[in-house]
Structure 1
């Protein structure tokens, strides 16, 4: 018979301890770095094309966007100002 009151007392203490602890974490505002990381993670999950992804990423990071395009010969030029042996490419 001594087991039953001890078990009930232990159960009551456990329930009261569970009710007394906060169930949600303390809410605080995100830092700028945390917000940026969350935005980059969400961007990577969106399934954008490579160009769209790079454009959105540059906007989020505040980087200047590189202008890449086709040169006069119809070939892609990654760096337009590159000099090869004294002549512009």
Structure 2
């Protein structure tokens, strides 16, 4: 009787220990899209100036940076237009 009780106790302990461990999804490799999204989220939290943010964002998304804003004389650059979502430009 003692032997079967010890085996049962060992079996119950092993089952409970197996249920307590979980598979870690963070150990799987990230896809390229997930890596890019994480980098963009980290970039948005840095508190950079608008121009620096746009340059680094363009480098992450592999786009050419589009200069939008004022030119050296303090006038708006009309050659480059920025389309705003939901608004006619």
Normalised-by-shorter TM-score class: 0.5 to 0.7
Higher helix share: 2
- Unaligned 5+ runs, structure 1: 83-89
2:14 is matched with: 16
Deviation at 1:41? 0.9
Q: Across the two proteins, how many residue pairs are aligned to each other? A: 70
Task: State whether residues 40 and 60 of structure 2, in contact with CA within 8 Å, keep that contact through their aligned partners in structure 1.
Answer: yes
Larger Rg, first or second structure (1 or 2): 1
Segments ≥4 residues shifted beyond 6 Å: none
Q: How well do the aligned residues superpose, as a CA RMSD in angstroms?
A: 2.8
Higher strand share: 1
Q: Partners of 1:49 and 1:60 in 2: how far apart?
A: 16
1:87 is matched with: none
- Unaligned 5+ runs, structure 2: 82-89
